[in-house]
Structure 1
């Protein structure tokens, strides 16, 4: 990872320099106000320093091209002659991240003081090496307490240590750990908007008992009520009468059509009936990751339905080793996103980073309870990071 510092008159100027040099793929690690050196520091306002990074795998030429386009857009004016505020959303997001890191540093500072109070670090001087060591131990403890796999924790810690200067500040150390986990989480991706020309088929798969039917109902409610989309629902979960009845109840309440498919061939017929819809949501039976026959049937359903989007549901209460077995059993899926369920039944979020690291697939939604449609949200990476690092408890976002 390539890391550089930029200084600007204000936050907008500094971000513009980052964009021009590194492009839109750059990650902001830290920002701070600094006074200029020498006599200028007495007469001029403080400037803004931004610490930014970019994956060295990103093409410099492409990155700079995007950066120059961003710079041109930044300087465009609308018909009234006023600069377009194209960066305002990014600046607000950046300021939020900076505030998050400030709170994280404060939390870590309190933890280090507690360590001193218990004489855990008795005799250590407050030099940079000791500071880094203390913070890394805090990160290690918090991540392990959140059930992150030890090997992954070691990988994160070693990655951070390898990029730190000898006199790194607490803010810089926290910012780098924050950025490393953010890179692992990626940007959560919800269901994409329909393309307008044909129905988008979305299928939900996963083990028994993870909440596929309820999750489908929540998303169907959101997309039909909030986004005013026309939804058709297909249930292939004919093994459980209760599941079909549950989905019928939700469909009736929402006023959405429901088709029951008893075979993969009937799935195709149901899709044809819903071809004029915006979306077709397909509920599948819970499959034991050890039941080869059931998984073969699911493969046939997926082949016939040819879904544009696949969501694998995993409960946050699942053991890490079982999560790996589940992911391995669904390795016939070429591309899928992950919905984590039952946030309300756990106090640790390590399963999220463990699964994302192991599966190499994208994060999507998190469910936080049984209420339809309220208890689901697009995963909030910032809240996950802060919870993993011991800053806050993950709380459901308000609608």
Structure 2
């Protein structure tokens, strides 16, 4: 009987070495994990049933091999164990040697009717039994591990699906949801949701960390989005904090009858000058006139992207002084595609940021948040009411995400009450 030792990083590679070097007739006598972490297999060729004294009957450490190559071990290993089992029952009962001989063993014996050494050696039979029992235990362990892994994977998948549905319930776009699910690893713990929201907040661009805008700012956007009201709120906050000396209001809206009257009303209440830019006046001349003012707020005509007069207004903004900042007012009540089309049209003037308006009137804020994230448009202010000067504040990413979650939960509960009449 020839005995050889094989070492490999894992059981699969070790068995492959045995098959390549010795062939399918090899008998695995023992296996163990070495202190180095390698797997050592002791195999015998022309196995005669005896067990060398220097080979341990049990491995020092149970190998952790997967079910993928479990069949490679069992197909040859179990077959040889079965040969010994078939011969064992007749041992010790006075049976003749011819009755002890197994047909499978006899086929490999050079001399016919020779009894197996394993049967003549009780210790060898016991060792084979031990090896068979150990293999069965390993099989059971792998089966349990596979079931547990399947249950765990199913729980993880269910948790991911549930979390993805919650993100979609906020009104976020599919692209934003997919990005968050890729970037945040879910652990199945309660903090998964908070970590997702924190990552969402990190993706929101914010215009500035200061509490108020300074310099020359033009507010642009479709009609009815809250441009003039936002200007009145920002101007009132500045007057209350610094006085009336450094504020001026300018309007370029000469397309609608009495369109500038609301702005003039704000001017009278705040005691600040109001200038109207028309066909006889150049915007740059007016800006030069008030170059020393700390806050110059420019109101523009509200036009939708299909208005024929919009091109002239955009051209005027393009020709304006370089220090004029362009702020786009986006209503959170609009659909995501409508908001994207507005951004696409007005972005040709070089937008510096945006104001998210009408948060208090929206049933979902995720659409507006998705647009500013996808378009990379910094948020300067959020406006959530008609009160002047209270209902506007500088944008904070985490505060905005809190409003997104609150709005979704509030309207979900309200819808449930209306649906079920509770």
TM-score, structure 1 normalization: 0.59
Q: Secondary structure at the match of 1:377?
A: strand
Quote how far apart the aligned CAs of 1:125 are.
11
Match of 1:170 in 2: 189
* Structure of higher CA gyration radius: 2
Q: Secondary structure at the match of 1:170?
A: coil
Match of 1:186 in 2: 205
Match of 1:146 in 2: 170
Quote how far apart the aligned CAs of 1:385 are.
2.2
Match of 1:206 in 2: 221
For residues 210 and 281 of structure 2, the distance between their equivalents in structure 1, rounded to whole angstroms, comes to: 25
Q: How does 1:315-354 map to 2 (within 5 A)?
A: 315-354=331-370
CA separation of 1:182 and 1:296: change in aligned 2, threshold 3 A:
same
For residues 127 and 389 of structure 1, the distance between their equivalents in structure 2, rounded to whole angstroms, comes to: 31
Quote how far apart the aligned CAs of 1:126 are.
12
Quote how far apart the aligned CAs of 1:378 are.
1.8
Counterpart of 2:381 (choices 357, 365, 377) is 365
Counterpart of 1:287 (choices 303, 307, 321) is 303
Counterpart of 2:283 (choices 267, 286, 297) is 267
Q: Is 1:137 equivalent to 2:153 in the alignment? A: no
For residues 246 and 126 of structure 1, the distance between their equivalents in structure 2, rounded to whole angstroms, comes to: 66
Once the two structures are superposed, residues 132-172 of structure 1 have per-residue CA deviations (whole angstroms, 9 ceiling, x without a partner) of: 445433432233223222232222223324xx5xxx35255
TM-score, structure 2 normalization: 0.56
Higher mean displacement: 212-221 or 287-296: 287-296
Quote how far apart the aligned CAs of 1:289 are.
1.1
Provide structure 1 residue ranges, at least 5 long, that are not aligned to the other structure: 1-123, 395-399
Q: Is 1:217 equivalent to 2:241 in the alignment? A: no
Aligned 8 A contact 1:232 1:277 in 2: yes
Q: Which has the higher contact order (CA 8 A, sep 6+)?
A: 1
Once the two structures are superposed, residues 19-66 of structure 1 have per-residue CA deviations (whole angstroms, 9 ceiling, x without a partner) of: xxxxxxxxxxxxxxxxxxxxxxxxxxxxxxxxxxxxxxxxxxxxxxxx
Once the two structures are superposed, residues 314-333 of structure 1 have per-residue CA deviations (whole angstroms, 9 ceiling, x without a partner) of: 11111111111111111213
Match of 1:310 in 2: 326
Q: How does 1:225-244 map to 2 (within 5 A)?
A: 225-228=240-243, 230-244=246-260
For residues 389 and 221 of structure 2, the distance between their equivalents in structure 1, rounded to whole angstroms, comes to: 20
Match of 2:294 in 1: 278
For residues 247 and 151 of structure 2, the distance between their equivalents in structure 1, rounded to whole angstroms, comes to: 61
Aligned 8 A contact 2:180 2:199 in 1: yes
- Taking only aligned residues, the RMSD between alpha carbons, in angstroms, comes to 3.1
The number of equivalent residue pairs is 263
For residues 371 and 225 of structure 1, the distance between their equivalents in structure 2, rounded to whole angstroms, comes to: 15
Q: Secondary structure at the match of 2:235?
A: helix
Aligned 8 A contact 2:364 2:407 in 1: no
Q: Secondary structure at the match of 2:208?
A: coil
Aligned 8 A contact 1:287 1:295 in 2: no
Quote how far apart the aligned CAs of 1:265 are.
4.5
Match of 2:111 in 1: none
Q: Secondary structure at the match of 2:291?
A: coil
Aligned 8 A contact 1:387 1:393 in 2: no
Aligned 8 A contact 2:364 2:408 in 1: no
